[in-house]
C-alpha cells in the first residue's frame, strides 16, 4: 500500500457535498456545527464560533462540543490525504475554557500511517491571539472498499473525480509508515 503526503491533482474540498446530516459538517442538521474545511498546507482548517446552544456551564462551551470540532477536523484531514476512515481512538487536552461567541480556528493534519491506521493531530486556537483552547491526537481506521464506495457516492459530487490512491506522508514519530 501507499504512504500519504505529496499533493495530488485532486482537491476533495471542491466536490464534497454538504447536503447531509453530519453533526460536524452537514447542512441538513439543524443543531450541527456546520463546519467548512479548507486545505491548509498539508492539512485542513475551519473557523468555529460557538453559539449559545454549544454551552456547558454558563457562557462556557461544552467540552464535548470542542472534542467534536477537533474530531471533525481530524476526519477532514484524513479526507484531504485521500483516505476514508473512522475515529478509532482520540485523546483531547483542554488548555483553557472557551466562551460562547469567541471566534476560533481549528487545524488538523495527518501525522502518519501504518496498515489500516492513520494518525492525526488537531488544535483549536482563539483567533484574537492564537492562544490554544484544546489539542487532540487520534488514530483513524480506514474503512473497507464497500463502505468507501458508498460514502463516496453519498458525500462526493462526482465520485469518479476522487483519486484511487491516497496522498503520501512522512512516517510518524515512531518511525513507522504504511506498508
What pLDDT, on the 0 to 100 scale, is given for residue 158?
61
Distance CA 35, CA 107 (A): 12
Q: Which one has a higher pLDDT value, 151 or 162?
A: 151
Residue-wise pLDDT for 57-93, tens only, equals 999 999 999 999 999 999 989 988 888 999 999 999 9
What pLDDT, on the 0 to 100 scale, is given for residue 22?
76
Cβ proximity of 137 and 91 under 8 Å: yes
What are the structural domains of the chain? Answer: 36-155 (3.10.129.10)
C-alpha cell at 34: 456546520
Distance CA 64, CA 90 (A): 12
Residue-wise pLDDT for 8-29, tens only, equals 444 555 556 666 667 777 777 7
Nearest-CA neighbor of 87 among 125, 137, 136, 138? 138
Q: Which one has a higher pLDDT value, 24 or 147?
A: 147
Amino acid at each position: 500500500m501507499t504512504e500519504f503526503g505529496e499533493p495530488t491533482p485532486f482537491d476533495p474540498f471542491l466536490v464534497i457535498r454538504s447536503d447531509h446530516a453530519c453533526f460536524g459538517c452537514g447542512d441538513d442538521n439543524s443543531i450541527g456545527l456546520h463546519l467548512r474545511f479548507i486545505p491548509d498546507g498539508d492539512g485542513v482548517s475551519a473557523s468555529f464560533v460557538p453559539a449559545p446552544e454549544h454551552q456547558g456551564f454558563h457562557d462556557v462551551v461544552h467540552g464535548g462540543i470542542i472534542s467534536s470540532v477537533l474530531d471533525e477536523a481530524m476526519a477532514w484531514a484524513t479526507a484531504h490525504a485521500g483516505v476514508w476512515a473512522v475515529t478509532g481512538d482520540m485523546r483531547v487536552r483542554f488548555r483553557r475554557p472557551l466562551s460562547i461567541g469567541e471566534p476560533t480556528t481549528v487545524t488538523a493534519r495527518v501525522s502518519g500511517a501504518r496498515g489500516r491506521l492513520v494518525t492525526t493531530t488537531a488544535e483549536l486556537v482563539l483567533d484574537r491571539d492564537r492562544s490554544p483552547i484544546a489539542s487532540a491526537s487520534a488514530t483513524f481506521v480506514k474503512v473497507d472498499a464497500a463502505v468507501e464506495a458508498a460514502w463516496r457516492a453519498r458525500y462526493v459530487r462526482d465520485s469518479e473525480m476522487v483519486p484511487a490512491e491516497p496522498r503520501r506522508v512522512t512516517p510518524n514519530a515512531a518511525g513507522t509508515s504504511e506498508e
